[in-house]
Amino acid sequence: MTAVSADSRSATPAADSAPRTNGRAPDKTGFDFDLIGVGNPIMDLLAHTDDAFLREHLTGEKGGMVLVDDADIAALVGRLAPAPVAAVPGGAAANTAVAAAKLGLRTSFLGKVGSDATAAQYLAHFREHGGDTSRLKHAPLPNARCLSLVTPDGQRTMRTHLGAAMTLAPEEVSPEDFAGVRHAHIEGYLLFNPALADKVVQSARAAGCTLSIDLASFEVVAAARDWIFAQLEQGVDILFANEDEARTLFQRDEPYENYARALARFGGIAAVKIGAEGAWLARGDALHRIAPIPVAQVVDTTGAGDAWAGGFLYAHLRGAPLSDAGALGSLLGSQSVQHLGAAIPAAYWPQLRTAAAELLARHIRS
């Protein structure tokens, strides 16, 4: 993995922050977990609608995410009736961690869940798919939830109430939460709370983790441009952005590969995802065009970028070249958009795991 600045990675965990095995034996590298996702554990509410509904009932741009009260979500759900609304455990970093776990990485998650039935369902789902929940915090509050309104073109417009997730405080996070973890993946939505985001990246670096950040939304980038550039200067191993997020970050229109090159100049890996057009990856002077995988019908783009990141991180942390890691990300992203919600149905995972194994075997042979 690309090295970051020495002063941001030289710290070691405190003596009282010894790795927690959570019943697992550390692997031969000394890590208990390959990956920890950090973000908001949110129950996704998914519904199909049309552009007319968005224009009539929402403010803000189509395709974005806006924080709202729980009552606002309830009102929108009521207005959607009789259209069905599905409930699926989600959250950007959690979606990425689950995808990586299903491919074979040992994953954990850091965030705050509530104490209601929604929280219990969320925890059971994460464990069922191979994730560790011992590092999650708990609050006597309702769990977070997000309403994703999916239009016929597959775009999703989100309204989110963070509930218990928004009560995660900086003083609750420490290097111990990252002890025994190789890589920390942080969702951009945490950047709405700069003090918390600061504590998360400081703690991950102090524990010796490598670091990736997914910018998550152009609204996030608009609110946190200075923070993002400051972190890039300190050292971020991998930055994930889509075309809208990259454009908002640099505040200019450029060919997408130029965004990737500009981000890579900070010393890490840049992954600029451009939806149906594929992606650009850059590290140092190397630039890779990742071809898209065409699909017959786009059902829902919710979580497609999260799935892409999960596939990329799995392959990258297993030592695959950037182009192969991007190809696996593209495969998972293309599968994700063919289903409602962020979760790829169980029936498709054997095929995806086989593809991942063949990719890694090709790398080993080469």
Q: What length is written for the chain?
A: 366
Asked if pLDDT for residue 26 goes beyond 80, the answer is no
Q: Percent of the chain at pLDDT above 90?
A: 68
pLDDT at 342: 78
What is the distance of C-alpha 351 from the center of its chain?
22
Among 83, 248, 243, 92, smallest CA distance to 158 is for: 92
What is the distance of C-alpha 89 from the center of its chain?
13
Q: Percent of the chain at pLDDT above 70?
A: 91
Asked if pLDDT for residue 4 goes beyond 50, the answer is no
Band of pLDDT at residue 179, cut at 50, 70 and 90: very high
Distance CA 272, CA 203 (A): 26
Mean pLDDT computed over 120-149: 92
Distance CA 174, CA 14 (A): 10
pLDDT at 1: 36
Q: Which long-range contacts (CB under 8 A, 24 or more apart) does 241-244 make?
A: 241/214, 241/215, 241/270, 241/271, 241/272, 241/273, 242/215, 242/272, 242/273, 242/274, 242/275, 242/305, 243/272, 243/273, 243/274, 243/275, 244/63, 244/218
pLDDT at 29: 62
pLDDT at 10: 28
Q: How far is CA 359 from CA 92, 152, 353, 365, in A?
A: 25, 34, 10, 10
Burial class, 365, CB count within 10 angstroms (exposed 0-12 / middle 13-18 / buried 19+): exposed
Band of pLDDT at residue 25, cut at 50, 70 and 90: very low
Per the prediction, the chain carries an average pLDDT of 88
Per-residue pLDDT reduced to its tens digit, 315-364: 999 999 999 999 999 999 999 988 877 788 899 999 999 999 998 887 66
Mean pLDDT computed over 309-313: 97
Bridge partners for 157 per DSSP: 149
- Residues with Cβ within 8 Å of residue 11, at least 6 apart in sequence: 205, 206, 208
Distance CA 350, CA 332 (A): 12
Band of pLDDT at residue 365, cut at 50, 70 and 90: low
pLDDT at 42: 92
What is the widest separation between alpha-carbon atoms in the chain? 58
Which structure tokens are listed for 155?
Answer: 């775009």
Contact 259, 280 (CB under 8 A): yes
Most confident range (mean pLDDT) of 63-72, 180-189, 300-309 is 180-189
What is the distance of C-alpha 17 from the center of its chain?
26
pLDDT at 70: 82
The tally of CA atoms less than 13 A away on the side-chain side of residue 311 is: 29
Mean pLDDT computed over 27-35: 79
Query: First vs last Cα of the chain: how many Å apart?
Result: 19
